[in-house]
Structure 1
Amino acid sequence: MPLFRRRSGGEGAQDRAGRRGFGFGRRGAGSPAATGSAEPRLDPTYGDESARLALRQAAAGDWAALRPTLAAADGAELSFLVGAMSDVPRVEQWTSRALADTPDDTLLLLLSGARHVVWGWEARTAARAKDVTEEGWKVFHQRLDVAEEQLLEAAEREPSWHAPWNFLQMSALGASLGPDVAACRFEAAVRRAPGNAGSHRIRLQQLSAKWGGSHEEMHEFARSAMLAAPEGSPLGELVALAHLEQWLALPDGEDRAYLTSPAVVAGLQEAAFRSVLHPDFVPVRGWQASFNAFAMAFSLADQPKTARLLFDALDGCVTEAPWHYLSRDPVKAFRAHRDRCTSYWR
């Protein structure tokens, strides 16, 4: 889902980072490792070969090969896989044809609905609302209408699934369905997956000033969600994302002063050490998104020591958000900030 891009541009970081270690919990396959020297790359599968195969199958339109993978996925894994596939170009073409033949296939309906949400945002583009063309708005809403119908049907058929509600949150945001619908869909999503970071990120956007909310609502939600979650939960990243959203809204000069202010730096430190840098943090699928959010926030806040902890753990794994706020090339932005933070402590 495109967001407005912004190009821009570090410490007295707490020594407790060194005393407590990385706090990454029990390391396993795909867990953070303090290396940080790999060439930065965007990888929606986070290095998972089975997920890469699934994306290749989605690109090829091989539903017969792909369906067993989705059928075997649990709630969070299904949401992740469908989300990754929804970004694959032309998925809407073969899913529409396949649905004509097998309209009762709920997995196929879910994938088609999710793709129509992302496909709709592609038509809208990342431009500010006032710069979107009339045709762009028309196509955007046409595609979202299809997504709404398909996702609501999928949710009705499979009441326990989280994935339809996750994408219905995104659809509600784009279609401006109002705060009541947005809140209802978020509540439906978190009932099925209480700690899901993706649904919380969408809710944060819904409450942001640029989508009709306010900075106050956004910060309150971020902090409340962090404190309600157990220590070691990735939801602390919401605090970092909220500060980045407010930074994004400020004019040049004021934005840097905001992020480097003692209160904001203290809030970032509290959130990081309560979540991704806490000893109880256990990496799950997509942990890299939380680390990228904190790495960017600490780097912009002139906290290179803490930022380097996160960059080292990421070992070059870049997520598009939130680096797209800095550049149309997230990898370039990531590399520049990582190298600056690394060289500072050589």
Structure 2
Amino acid sequence: MMCVICLSFVGVGHAQTTKPVRGNLTNHDLLKAVKEYNRRTLVEAYDKVGHHDPKWDPAARKFLEFMVVRLAESGANDVYRSDADVSIETALALCEPLSDSNCDDPLVLYCHSLILKDSGQTDQFKQLLSRALQKLLTSNYPPNRKWWATNRFVTEVLPKDAVPDAEITLALIDQFVETMNVPEESPIDRRVKLRQMSEGFEAMKQADRQTILSKMKAVGKTDPWVMAVLEGRHEIKAAWEARGHGWASTVSPEGWTEFRDRLGKARDLLVLAYNREPSYPEPASNMIPVCMGAGGELSEDIEDWFNRAIIAQVDYQEAWQGYVSALMPRWGGSHRQMYELGCRAMMTGRYDTNVPEFLLESLMWIIRDREGDYSFFTAPGLWDNIDRVFTGYLKRPGSDPIWIKSRRAAYAFRCQKFEEVARIADELKEALRPHTFAYLGLDTEDAVNISRAIAGDATQNMAMGYTSEINGDYLDARNAYRAAKSRLAADSPVRAIIERHDRVCALQQSLLEGHVAQIPLASADDLVAWRPDDVGWSCDKEGLTFALPGMGKAELRHRAGKLGAKKVHVEWYWSSANKVQPPAVAMVVQDIGGDDAITVALYPDQNAVRVRGKKWTVAKGKNVPDNGMSPDVWHSLDVTHEGDVITVEMDGVMVVDHHQNDWLASGNSALGLWAGLQPTGGIVKVRNLTVQKIEKAPK
């Protein structure tokens, strides 16, 4: 079958048929090797050097066997997961007899701490990890487990702005070197160790990475292929550290020189690694960012290196993601080429892997680059290709039909296949999974109601109104909604749907016209403008309220429309059960469907503000005492995004963050409210939420 890509938004014809990709390896092979490696460094290591006691030995071995699979499959695509139950509920149950028997083996304690972290018991996680690490460092357990425990202690237990002392840094370096010097029991162990250790290696400071490489060379026991790949990745990282991540005009001549020199060194090292082992995808995949950065200066063809990577392993996601990034318009490519790559993935027919699903991922890359604009989803042929992917995965043995059909319904809605959405919703009923719609920036109930209305007794005007609404043409949408409403019977349930969307469009138009708009919060009907990601939100006379007993969180995102630069003001109130630990509260200004979000998060218990992951200590304000914010007091937050500057004001305390990239100058953005409660529970109330459009500052 020929792949159809007659997309009006890029103006392309039919794709060229591509020979099926036949990689020698898949991620199934790698995950199998990871589990074998985990078993040797967890279960077998405990048997050999662990602290044994009949009281806990059986429970400890059972728990470590469980962790072999849980650690390997964490974050894995469903197509690669086994039938093993690795749920957090099962994990906590396996930990109970260990606690009851006072098991003090450091490896078991370390793994137990990971379960506490995953279950949200942060304080207990930090305490148990610290306790485990003390004994683990003096044990005979494998160095990779010591390295992970030490690294987690540095990144997750120490204060975020703390500088690890020299002893800890040296321990991390030595543990890494020792891990890489342990002889491999099988050739693929090289890939396993590289997979497990490389991310932490690249997160280190340049000087520490260089020290590791120098020590590995001095000892001379590291596999040459691993050595070349690590050195190549170090040079890529160092190249960008020299250049910086700003616009080209901000790079110094010295920065450009070092950038090019280091990319040249990376190329030589990665080519060496590839020639040593062309059946492994890592070196070829790492050549993609080298080609992107160097342009044509190194005379390397980026597509050739991509092909080498997927010939080695057809489902090596780093290669697919790296290449689609290289095909973005900012790098000289086009949305057409990005989509063609997705079609190429689909045409492999490898439904035993996640490769065909990369068609959907390529579309999300395009959406992010189009600033949340889904309008091209109605292009001829696009739905046919999406449907082909879901049909293929439904036929795969062991697939989850509820999950796949729910995703299919969400994509069908974006493609305006409303009858298909209504059909799937009627089939699945309560089993329809809401987060599949949320991933595409949709509210499930809203999408289903609209689809049923359009597929049922509503007129064509309803479809026209919704199409105009999602495209940001709010005046046209309101006219179409009113025309649809006039043709409906007085008792038609569709009238309520139309009236709610008409109110949303009126608010959006007010925001676009630059008015200071107060977003209503005190009526349950007003929640139509919000998309709840979690349960627990309600409205009362005081405002929008989130309450949940025990630990939990909730998110709401408001359809803020294409506002550009804006000022957001919000007031909130919190009260926790113990009056000591306040919840975290966040205001999010986010691109719908994208990862480029500007988030202003308030952590009262830490007396801090974070903006897109960066942290400033907040100076004391009138409502910011030493031990965090006082309960039972209304607080206010002002966030202004103008050009490349974000200004945060909280109760008179101001923080300014300068960004080199203007993520929200245009695009389909959303406001979000997030609340995270401590285990004791409590409430968060939000009121007086206003949005004002402002002129974008000149660059």
Deviations 1:159-199 (A, max 9, x none): 33322212122222221148961111111111111121111
Mapped pair 1:77 → 2:192? yes
2:612 to 326, 329, 337: 329
Structure 1 counterpart of 2:210, which letter? Answer: E
Structure 2 counterpart of 1:60, which letter? Answer: I
Would you say the 8 A contact 2:367–2:594 is kept in 1? no
Would you say the 8 A contact 2:348–2:355 is kept in 1? no
- 1:154-303 alignment to 2 at 5 Å? 154-177=273-296, 181-231=301-351, 233-250=353-370, 255-256=371-372, 258-259=373-374, 262-263=377-378, 266=383, 270=387, 273=390, 280=397, 299=438, 301-303=440-442
Aligned length: 282
Deviations 1:249-287 (A, max 9, x none): 44xxxx34x22665389589648746888865789xxxx
Mapped pair 1:28 → 2:299? no
Q: In structure 2, what is the Cα distance between the partners aligned to 1:132 and 1:61?
A: 35
Q: In structure 2, what is the Cα distance between the partners aligned to 1:197 and 1:131?
A: 32
* Structure 1 gaps, min length 5: 1-21, 42-48, 284-293, 317-321, 341-346
Would you say the 8 A contact 1:208–1:214 is kept in 2? yes
2:512 is matched with which residue?
A: none
Aligned-residue offset at 1:201: 0.9
> Which secondary structure does the structure 2 equivalent of 1:202 belong to?
helix
* Structure 2 gaps, min length 5: 1-76, 90-117, 123-141, 152-170, 401-410, 412-433, 446-530, 535-551, 554-592, 599-610, 616-670, 676-699
Aligned-residue offset at 1:123: 3.0
After superposition, the Cα gap between the structure-2 partners of 1:125 and 1:105, relative to the gap in structure 1 and judged at 3 Å, is same
2:217 to 99, 107, 110: 99
After superposition, the Cα gap between the structure-2 partners of 1:323 and 1:214, relative to the gap in structure 1 and judged at 3 Å, is closer
> Which secondary structure does the structure 2 equivalent of 1:119 belong to?
helix
Would you say the 8 A contact 2:324–2:338 is kept in 1? yes
Q: In structure 1, what is the Cα distance between the partners aligned to 2:389 and 2:305?
A: 28
Q: In structure 1, what is the Cα distance between the partners aligned to 2:435 and 2:254?
A: 35
**Structure with greater strand percent:** 2
Mapped pair 1:60 → 2:116? no
Aligned-residue offset at 1:242: 2.9
> Which secondary structure does the structure 2 equivalent of 1:118 belong to?
helix
Aligned-residue offset at 1:122: 3.1
> Which secondary structure does the structure 2 equivalent of 1:154 belong to?
helix
Q: In structure 1, what is the Cα distance between the partners aligned to 2:387 and 2:87?
A: 22
Would you say the 8 A contact 2:144–2:179 is kept in 1? no
After superposition, the Cα gap between the structure-2 partners of 1:82 and 1:181, relative to the gap in structure 1 and judged at 3 Å, is farther
Q: In structure 2, what is the Cα distance between the partners aligned to 1:224 and 1:269?
A: 13
After superposition, the Cα gap between the structure-2 partners of 1:231 and 1:65, relative to the gap in structure 1 and judged at 3 Å, is closer
Aligned-residue offset at 1:230: 2.1
How many percent of aligned residue pairs carry the same amino acid?
A: 17
- 1:104-119 alignment to 2 at 5 Å? 105-106=223-224, 107-119=226-238
**Structure with greater helix percent:** 1
- TM-score of the pair, normalised by structure 1: 0.61
Deviations 1:129-173 (A, max 9, x none): 344333332222222222122222222223333222121222222
Structure 1 counterpart of 2:441, which letter? Answer: D
Deviations 1:286-338 (A, max 9, x none): xxxxxxxx9999647432449x9x99xxx99xxxxx96522473799xxx979
Would you say the 8 A contact 2:350–2:356 is kept in 1? no
After superposition, the Cα gap between the structure-2 partners of 1:242 and 1:65, relative to the gap in structure 1 and judged at 3 Å, is closer
After superposition, the Cα gap between the structure-2 partners of 1:223 and 1:247, relative to the gap in structure 1 and judged at 3 Å, is same
